[in-house]
Structures are given as C-alpha cells and as structure tokens.
Amino acid sequence: MKNLLLSFFTFTSFTLFAQTPYSLKTGREAVLLGAGVVSYGAAYAFNKNLDPLTPAQISQLNPANVPSFDRSATTNFSVGADKLSDATLIGGIGLTGAVIVTSHSPSRRNASFTDSDLFTVGMMYAETMLLTNGVKSAVKNAVERTRPYAYNPVAPLSDKLEKDAQRSFYSGHAANAFATAVFAAEVFRHYHPNSAAKPWVWIGSLGLASSTAYLRYHAGQHFPTDLLAGAAIGSLAGWGIPKLHQNRTGASAARWREVTVTPWSNGLASGVYLRWTLTSHPTAVQ
C-alpha cells in the first residue's frame, strides 16, 4: 500500500489559481471615464472653430510644401482601401472581443457579472476606447492638418470641401487599431501566461493593426507621420490601461502557479519533494 501511494503521488501534480490579474476601483474608473468625457468636450469645442477648405485654398495646395517624408501620400487615393481599412479595424476589435470573453480566472467563474473578469476587462477596454477616441478627436480638430487626398487632383472636390478633409493628424484608425491590438495581446498574456498561442495573438492583432494603417496611407487619408503618431498613442493606451488596473501584489499574483508534490524514500529516511513553478522561474524545495 505504501508503494502504491508513493507511485500515485509521484505522478500527481496540481495547479493553484492565482487571483485575477486586474481589478476595478471606483475612484480610478471615475477619473478615467471623466477624462474621456472631457476630451470629447474639447473635441466638440475645437470642431465648432474648424473651417473647411475653400475651392480657392484647394487650388493653391502644393505637394512640394509637404515634408519629404510625407510627400508620397499626396499621390494616393482609393475608396476601396478606405472601406477595407474599416474592415480590418473591425476585425481587430472582434479579436479583442474574443479575448475579453475568454478572460477569466477559474476561481471566479461563478462570480456575479459586476464582480467578474468579463466585466472588469470589458470596462478596461471601454476606457481605452473612450480615451483613445476622445483625445484623437480633440487633436484632429485642434491641429487642422489637411489630408493627403486634398492634394490629389483625382480625388473628388466634394470630399475636399468637407470638414473631415482638415482632420489628418493624427490617424484615428491607426490609434484605435493599435490600442485594440496591444490591449488584446496584453490581456491574453496575463490570463494565459503559459499558452502557446501568445505569439499568434500578438502577430494576428498587430498584423491587423498594421494592415489598417497601410490601407489608410494607400487611401490617401493619412500621411506616414499621422499613422506613426496614431500607432504610438494607441499602443500607449492599449498597454497603459491594463497596466493601471493590474493588481499591485506583483506579477506573481496574476500568474498560474503549478505545484508538484512527490514523496520520496530511500529506505533510511522519507520526505516530500515540492516543486513550485511560477511562470518560467521554477523553485524546488526538498
């Protein structure tokens, strides 16, 4: 019987589930949501002072006045690329939605909705999008940078005469796409630290975001600097919001911990071999 028990425990391991990686705090969420609302208010105020281009101003636009790094965008215009950029952005949001739905700690599966991981991560994503779009809209309306297609004689005059033709900096599509991509990959790696799918989530999400940015360039909607700024600001939001909500007990509290217990005996003494694996740093105690 002793040998049977030893054999059983030798091949037995069990997993301890750490607490959820993220948590909400009423004061912090109020500040973040309030900042998003304020940024939209600023965007509305700037929009009232935003004047569209006149036909005379359009006729005077000269690509030579555009910095050389951005100048190539003035020859681009594509309605198809414009519409396809919407599709890739929606695809990235869909991927993030799938990550949110599958994000939960096993110990909290039966938690109420307002105390669940689904609610927490959903709120974090809502804050990310609110801030990303509020700040983006405020900057666009304040900077009033002319879009590349306004320089292109192929683009319809009706498009050039709209207010939106003055909202080139910075790219909202790029900001949203990269905020979504980084958010999805960060949340996935925190809930599934040992998953072999982590690189594929990063590749898939960033691939969709990069495709969105390129299509905006090809459509004549944005200059390269618009896209780089949007990607940087969006990535910061996608990383920063999860970071703000990460539990302060340290990264170890948000990880899966695997504990393997193996009794041993050499005929003269007996004991227990304990192996505790925390992410990629195993610790063995005998």
Going by C-alpha positions, the residue among 22, 254, 224, 19 that lies closest to residue 120 is: 22
Same structural domain, 116 and 216: yes
pLDDT value of residue 104: 72
Same structural domain, 132 and 150: yes
Going by C-alpha positions, the residue among 215, 55, 222, 205 that lies closest to residue 136 is: 222
> pTM for the whole thing?
0.78
Same structural domain, 197 and 264: no
The rounded distance, in Å, linking the Cα atoms of 232 and 224 is: 12
| Residue 10: count of CB within 10 angstroms of its CB | 14
pLDDT digits (tens, 9 = 90+) for 120-154: 999 999 999 999 999 999 999 999 999 999 999 99
Same structural domain, 34 and 124: yes
pLDDT value of residue 250: 45
pLDDT value of residue 252: 43
Q: pLDDT at residue 117 above 90?
A: no
Q: Average per-residue pLDDT in the chain?
A: 83
Mean pLDDT of 105-121: 67
Domain that holds residue 140: 22-251
The rounded distance, in Å, linking the Cα atoms of 260 and 265 is: 17
**Type and span of the H or E element at 232:** helix 224-245
Same structural domain, 267 and 130: no
Same structural domain, 187 and 211: yes
pLDDT digits (tens, 9 = 90+) for 194-240: 889 999 999 999 999 999 999 999 999 999 999 999 999 999 999 99
Cβ neighbors of 214 (< 8 A, separation 6 or more) are: none
Q: Is the peptide bond before 273 cis (omega within 30 degrees of 0)?
A: no
Same structural domain, 59 and 167: yes
Same structural domain, 202 and 261: no
Same structural domain, 145 and 164: yes
Going by C-alpha positions, the residue among 158, 143, 137, 154 that lies closest to residue 53 is: 158
CA atoms within 13 A on the CB side of 279: 11
pLDDT value of residue 121: 93
Which residue would you say has higher pLDDT here, 234 or 267?
A: 234
Q: Where are the alpha helices (DSSP H) in 16-162?
A: 26-48, 55-59, 79-101, 117-143, 157-160
- The angle at the Cα of 258, spanning 120 to 261, to the nearest 5 degrees, equals 150
pLDDT value of residue 265: 56
Q: Crossing angle, helix 198-218 and helix 172-191, to 10 degrees?
A: 180
Count of domains forming the chain: 2
Same structural domain, 225 and 239: yes
Same structural domain, 105 and 155: yes
pLDDT value of residue 108: 57
Same structural domain, 69 and 204: yes
Indicate the residue type of 2. Answer: K
Going by C-alpha positions, the residue among 176, 164, 263, 256 that lies closest to residue 219 is: 164
Query: Quick one: pLDDT band at residue 279, thresholds 50, 70, 90?
Result: very low
